[in-house]
Structure 1
Amino acid sequence: MPLPSLLLLTLAAAAFSISSTVPSGWATAVCLGAGLALLVGFRGGRAARRGDGAAAADLPGRGPLKWLYLAVAVLCAGVVAENFIPLFGQELGGLGPLPADFLGAAVSAGWTAAT
């Protein structure tokens, strides 16, 4: 288990999360800077461990997993849009809360049936 890498990544996520709760200004900048520094440390540590300076450029667009990454990205976009269907039904379609929720449930049922 790569505990040092996991710790750096966890601390980076925590720093980014904390940046949204502190008052705007220097505190936010410090949190964002700390998060970026921790991410650089995380990526640099992985490259150094593997002995490959180019390993820090492990981009999803390379290798056989690129189609899996594309599929996950498309599905995530669909799920994010689906979360707002009841709101769109109310605001744009003039539906009440219950019919708008049924509209969202119908889309979910369609996903389930297609699966």
Structure 2
Amino acid sequence: YYKDMRDEAERDRQSGLLRRLSAGGFEVRGDAPEDFGPGPKERYGTNLVEMAVDAMTIARDVDHVILVAGDRKLVPLVRALRAAGVGVTVATALDVPVAIRSADTLLAAADDHIDFTRHLLSDTSSN
């Protein structure tokens, strides 16, 4: 999981998710607020570059990648993976506000997508 934490408030908001991911065996990568130093902070970027480098590194050893992301900035990564012969599926929720759904250009660049909408809307009280 790649996520840069720009400030303490963001780190606090994400803490539950990050704990669950770590407990589930997922590696959490990205910069912490103290890594940015003084001055203006980039809103996005560092974590996407790190993810792209890691994806291209593992592309030598896999046939397919499932990308759980939605940022259109990842289109060049998807194109590079496909050019390297690696299939790409984008896992997303499509029936959500446009501001948080995967970019259409990212979905178009991938081989396929998985729509999690029905899982998000299902009744989880019995699980």
Counting helix residues as a fraction of each chain, which structure ranks higher?
1
TM category (shorter chain) comes to under 0.3
Counting strand residues as a fraction of each chain, which structure ranks higher?
2
Structure whose CA Rg is larger: 1
Please give the TM-score of this superposition, normalised by the length of structure 2.
0.24
